[in-house]
Structure 1
Amino acid sequence: MSKRLTTTAGAPITDNQNSATAGERGPLLMQDYQLLEKLAHQNRERIPERVVHAKGWGAIGTLKITGDISAYTCAKVLQPGTETPMLARFSTVAGEQGAADHERDVRGFALKFYTEEGNWDLVGNNTPVFFLRDPYKFPDFIHTQKRHPKTNLRSPTAMWDYWSLSPEALHQVTILMSDRGLPVSPMHMNGYGSHTFGLWNEAGERFWVKFHFKTQQGHAHFTNSEAAEVVGQSREGYQEQLFGAIEAGNFPKWTLQIQIMPETEAEKTSFNPFDLTKVWPHSDYPVMTIGEFELNQNPENYFAEIENAAFSPSNTVPGIGASPDKVLQARIFSYADAHRYRLGTHYESLPVNAPKCPVHHYHKDGTMNALGQRSGHTDAYYEPNSISESAKEGGLQEPPLKISGDADRYNHRDGNDDYSQPRALHDLMDENQRTRLYANTAEAMAGVPEDIISRVLVHYDLISPEYGAGIRSARSKLSEMHDAAD
């Protein structure tokens, strides 16, 4: 027997095809509350899209820990043998919700683990570094990736002008313009926590950690021309492939690896281990495999489970913490704040965001508060009180952070080596990979004023004379091709 169609208040709907009118040819009746409800809800079906990472694809799965790192962390989610339900969302950074999936861009790699101690969110990218090391520049950088206020078009000039004045970005730009800047699907790319995070053990000892998720499907990438052909057929290639693979039972997997650094060693490294534009050399801090995650279930409703999903570095659990990474520190605020604006004050009460463990707090009222008081007792809406059983729990606090230095606005470009690590990455590439790197970079510079290109090429020369020369040669070839076409 079919289910009865009702209004949102539960009243039965007898006709879902025809409006109530004053006669067959007369005007509508304002008393047709069913029509008004239907139109009003349609007007409100859209919520603000994410300012960045608007276009995304997600699935449900399980994290399994096989290695033993109890010497480094007391986090229950990372203990050997633990299996934790999770949600993953992949995304592009710059494109809007309607953008094509196969665009050259950094990909977001956001993971939510529903642990017995609360939700742990690891919100990273498919790259181990990013374009900036100071969050003060994040809004400026994102403006260069969005639309020009007059033309309403993407602006390569703004993008390269910013990069030409921000050499710390060139490590990430090198990755973006390399083969890995255009994965064929979400399943064929790595994920990284990108930031340095903290771990602490039962003894209160802290360690710094990098998280890596290595694809078990292997790396596969498109050239710009190959991706253009795909986009000509479908703008939803990533969604089709991720959804289709899981529906067919081909569950993608990623291997979880970490790098560990003792807390006091951070003061001795030749590079700043909290700099988001830097990687930790594997020769100094080798990766260790501790588990894997598998995605094995598609969401039943994309909007409810993926669009409403809210990830934030502020969601952490005992045994896992932050670090002095400046960009991470800012994201701890900005991500949760963005969700409160986009979804509402109590966004974490939505089913996809709600922890699977008991929740008690003193947050009161506000939009979306459908569950009322969460302290455990009606009369306990403040703290401290002599009524509620909800009280702080000792023994779970993070050990004190050992930091020295005066509070000031330090110039994040002073004394930083922004060329060695992109040079090392460039030198790792074979001849064919470099050729594609130069060509992709040259293509991305099309239409950019020469004074900006000259300024950025100085940085490429400082990375490697071969790098700068390769881009110049690729630009010359593009110019010859355009002249021949004319």
Structure 2
Amino acid sequence: MSKRVLTTESGAPVADNQNSATAGVGGPLLLQDQHLLEKLARFNRERIPERVVHARGSGAYGYFEVTDDVTAYTSADFLSTVGKRTETFLRFSTVADSLGGADAVRDPRGFAVKFYTEEGNYDLVGNNTPVFFIKDPIKFPDFIHSQKRDPFTGKQEPDNVWDFWAHSPEATHQVTWLMGDRGIPASYRHMNGYGSHTYQWTNEAGEAFFVKYHFKTNQGVRSLSSEQAAELAGKDANSHQTDLLQAIERGVNPSWTLHVQIMPAAEAADYRFNPFDLTKVWPHSDYPLQRVGRLVLDRNPDNVFAEVEQAAFSPNNFVPGIGPSPDKMLQGRLFAYADAHRYRLGVNHTLLAVNAPKAVLGGKADNYGRDGLMAANAYGRDRKNYEPNSYDGPAETGKALSAPLAVNGHTGTHEAPLHTKDDHFFQAGELYRLMSAEEQARLVANIAGGLSQVTRDDVIEKNLAHFHAADTEYGKRVEEAVRALRED
């Protein structure tokens, strides 16, 4: 087998990777040593901004297998058939500490699942607790500031942590979870995961249901006392990463059983408390757990930075049959998560292997986004870069992913309100009729001059129809002028 050759970023072979080029023996370094300069410059740029929250994380690949029929509640294709498997990536994390923090600490754990479905990626971004500290996203930056390192002391301050909670009585439920026996999981394998938020499922008939996700660990829940955690963190700051990595390498693949609570949408308005309040759970006596399937992790990432640090999850990555609820915290996260990734990783972060859809056009999204830092999918000759178009580019389906949300008597919709005289053409016709004869002649000539150069007859006809709809004379004059120019 031939020996692999070390190369520069441009692909040129490297002659010497042990000694820098100098001006004579012992002389100063030479600016012409391209390999040295490139190597140092790249090294300076190895790190990207860490996540403000959930910075410290671990992850693994696996699959989700449907075990129970839930088609009465959702039309999501990846949940459509018992036995169907979908590839997944799961990222675990602590919330408050930085990338270099210890794993065995008292802190909520992120539990973010990316389903690589045949209809695009579905991201379910939750925690190992079914509730959270706050219920309104406007408080989130302040909450995180109180939990992170103090700007003066440079460390987490109990004064800040508890002062915020003192002024946020809604945090009491989550504080009770955090300070209880499950506040420090023994490992990522030995904790439950929750969607935490309320989401919406929609079935084929268009019926809407609100749901909460519960991933129950099949390894059993195990936790650490404060004393055990302090000892473990001192011995191995990477204890949870170590455990997850080694378990999968040994073939001891961790798994969770997914259950959901299902509330018919019509029951939400009259429920005894706000069912979209993230600081509250739905009692199982009201809405029992219903089994859906099994989540299994069976493959470790090859590169932690590329696949765990650069994994990007966003709660607004839905698929047909699944959508948001009026949960205010969820609504805030629909913006904040995607925005964080565009900042940290760039606008083209969805082209990275760990984030790219697996089943859409061989692993890349099919849309009209263009350019930006590190653009790799800049469509050119193969199709136009706008929509709608006449060239068979990707087009909207006209079918909503989920049922519209009805909140306080108002239904969310993409449609504009209807009025008695609300079309695209009548004011264009009125403007034409206000013009003098000379103005009309110049207008017709200008339109015809451009439209006559179009190569597709169907595009010309569609535009002519617009002018006819605005004013009969207007349309007739433009059509005749275009025809005359095309016949020349």
* TM-score, scaled to structure 1: 0.82
Higher mean C-alpha displacement, 76-85 vs 311-320 = 76-85
Helix, strand or coil: the match of 2:123? strand
1:191–1:214 Cα contact (<8 Å) kept: yes
In structure 2, what is the equivalent of residue 192 of structure 1? 194
Structure 1 pair 247/21, CA: closer, same or farther in 2 (3 Å)? Answer: same
User: How much does 1:391 deviate?
Assistant: 1.0
What per-residue deviation string (whole Å, max 9, x for no partner) do you get for residues 56-110 of structure 1?
Answer: 0111101000100100000011122210000000000001011011010000001
User: How much does 1:14 deviate?
Assistant: 1.4
2:257–2:291 Cα contact (<8 Å) kept: yes
Aligned equivalents of 2:204, 2:384: Cα separation in 1 = 32
Helix, strand or coil: the match of 2:275? coil
User: How much does 1:396 deviate?
Assistant: 4.5
The percent identity for this pair of structures is: 59
In structure 1, what is the equivalent of residue 214 of structure 2? 212
Q: How does 1:20-169 map to 2 (within 5 A)?
A: 20-79=21-80, 80-169=82-171
Counterpart amino acid of 2:218? Q
In structure 2, what is the equivalent of residue 446 of structure 1? none
2:275–2:282 Cα contact (<8 Å) kept: yes
Counterpart amino acid of 1:401? L
Runs of 4+ in 1 over 4 A off after TM superposition: none
Aligned equivalents of 1:399, 1:184: Cα separation in 2 = 40
Helix, strand or coil: the match of 1:225? helix
Structure 1 pair 163/83, CA: closer, same or farther in 2 (3 Å)? Answer: same
1:60–1:86 Cα contact (<8 Å) kept: yes
1:380–1:388 Cα contact (<8 Å) kept: no
Structure 1 pair 397/108, CA: closer, same or farther in 2 (3 Å)? Answer: closer
Counterpart amino acid of 1:3? R
Helix, strand or coil: the match of 2:59? strand
Q: How does 1:304-453 map to 2 (within 5 A)?
A: 304-356=306-358, 357-358=360-361, 359-373=365-379, 378-404=382-408
Task: Name the count of aligned residue pairs.
Answer: 405
What per-residue deviation string (whole Å, max 9, x for no partner) do you get for residues 173-218 of structure 1?
Answer: 0000001100110000000000000000100110000001000001
Please list every run of 5 or more consecutive structure 1 residues that lacks an aligned counterpart in the other structure.
Answer: 408-486
- Computing the radius of gyration over CA atoms, which structure comes out larger, 1 or 2? 2
Structure 1 pair 249/385, CA: closer, same or farther in 2 (3 Å)? Answer: same
Helix, strand or coil: the match of 2:6? coil
Aligned equivalents of 2:23, 2:375: Cα separation in 1 = 41
Aligned equivalents of 1:227, 1:399: Cα separation in 2 = 45
Aligned equivalents of 1:270, 1:210: Cα separation in 2 = 17
User: How much does 1:379 deviate?
Assistant: 4.7
Helix, strand or coil: the match of 1:267? coil
In structure 1, what is the equivalent of residue 178 of structure 2? 176
Aligned equivalents of 2:404, 2:235: Cα separation in 1 = 55
Aligned equivalents of 1:117, 1:3: Cα separation in 2 = 40
User: How much does 1:389 deviate?
Assistant: 2.7
What per-residue deviation string (whole Å, max 9, x for no partner) do you get for residues 301-354 of structure 1?
Answer: 111111110001011100000000000001000000000000001110111100
2:323–2:401 Cα contact (<8 Å) kept: no
Q: Determine which structure has greater relative contact order: mean sequence separation of CA pairs < 8 Å that are 6+ residues apart, divided by chain length.
A: 1
In structure 2, what is the equivalent of residue 19 of structure 1? 20
Aligned equivalents of 2:292, 2:356: Cα separation in 1 = 27
What per-residue deviation string (whole Å, max 9, x for no partner) do you get for residues 123-144 of structure 1?
Answer: 0000000000011000000001
User: How much does 1:405 deviate?
Assistant: 5.4
Helix, strand or coil: the match of 2:256? strand
Q: How does 1:286-297 map to 2 (within 5 A)?
A: 286-297=288-299
1:85–1:114 Cα contact (<8 Å) kept: yes
Counterpart amino acid of 2:405? L
Aligned equivalents of 2:17, 2:401: Cα separation in 1 = 56
Helix, strand or coil: the match of 1:186? coil
Aligned equivalents of 2:253, 2:168: Cα separation in 1 = 40
Counterpart amino acid of 1:367? L
Supply the RMSD in Å over aligned alpha carbons. Answer: 1.3
Helix, strand or coil: the match of 2:291? strand
Counterpart amino acid of 2:78? V
2:318–2:401 Cα contact (<8 Å) kept: no
Aligned equivalents of 2:156, 2:203: Cα separation in 1 = 47
Helix, strand or coil: the match of 1:110? strand
Helix, strand or coil: the match of 1:46? coil
2:66–2:84 Cα contact (<8 Å) kept: yes
In structure 2, what is the equivalent of residue 453 of structure 1? none
2:94–2:107 Cα contact (<8 Å) kept: yes
Helix, strand or coil: the match of 1:198? strand
1:114–1:120 Cα contact (<8 Å) kept: yes
Helix, strand or coil: the match of 2:12? coil
Helix, strand or coil: the match of 2:37? helix
Counterpart amino acid of 1:390? P
User: How much does 1:158 deviate?
Assistant: 0.9
User: How much does 1:397 deviate?
Assistant: 4.0
In structure 1, what is the equivalent of residue 204 of structure 2? 202
